[in-house]
Structures are given as structure tokens and as C-alpha cells.
């Protein structure tokens, strides 16, 4: 009975904020702490080891966009607008 009364006193002394801290905040903080450790370890492994693995290099080469053909400087619309500008300049002189 002494244990029951001491546990009741402990439970009644916990405030609302203590319950929030215990049930929500601490698990969330623990989760984000572990997640940050995993991300940090991944970044270190990526920078130090994985970029030197040939398979990863091949995958990254295939993911990069291949450069497309350069567009010609005089296309249809640019020729059209340049002719309008030339006509305006000729009419102003």
C-alpha cells in the first residue's frame, strides 16, 4: 500500500507539460536525432567512398542530362522580329 500511495503521488505531481514532453516531444526528438545521424553518415559515406565506386559513377553518368543540340541564332521568330526592328529603323530615318 505504501508503493501505491507513492506512485499515486508521483502521477498526480506530473503536469500536463510533463505528459506532453514524455509522450510526444521526447519520441519526436529521438526520431529526428537518429534521422540526422543516419543522414550525416550517408553524406560522409557519399563524399568519402561512394563517389569512387565504379557502379555509382556509371549510374550518375546515365542520370546526367546529355547536352542537346545548340539552337541556331537565327530561327523563324527571331528573323521575324529582327525584320520588324529593321523596318522600324528604316521608317524612322
pLDDT tens, position by position, for the chain (93 residues)? 555 555 555 555 778 888 878 888 899 999 999 999 999 999 999 889 888 888 888 888 887 766 667 776 667 777 777 888 778 777 776
Q: What is the pLDDT of residue 62?
A: 80
**Could you tell me which residues come within 8 angstroms of residue 74 by beta carbon, excluding any fewer than 6 positions away?**
82
Residues 59, 50: Cα–Cα separation, whole Å: 12
Is residue 18 within 8 Å of 12, Cβ to Cβ? no
The residue behind cell 565506386 is 53
Q: What is the pLDDT of residue 93?
A: 61
Residues 34, 37: Cα–Cα separation, whole Å: 5
Overall pTM > 0.85? no
Q: What is the pLDDT of residue 83?
A: 82
Amino acid at each position: 500500500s505504501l508503493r501505491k500511495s507513492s506512485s499515486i503521488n508521483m502521477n498526480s505531481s506530473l503536469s500536463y507539460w510533463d505528459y506532453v514532453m514524455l509522450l510526444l516531444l521526447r519520441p519526436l526528438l529521438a526520431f529526428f536525432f537518429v534521422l540526422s545521424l543516419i543522414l550525416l553518415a550517408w553524406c560522409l559515406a557519399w563524399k568519402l567512398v561512394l563517389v569512387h565506386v565504379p557502379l555509382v559513377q556509371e549510374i550518375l553518368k546515365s542520370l546526367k542530362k546529355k547536352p542537346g543540340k545548340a539552337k541556331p541564332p537565327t530561327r523563324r521568330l527571331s528573323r521575324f522580329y529582327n525584320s520588324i526592328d529593321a523596318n522600324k529603323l528604316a521608317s524612322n530615318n
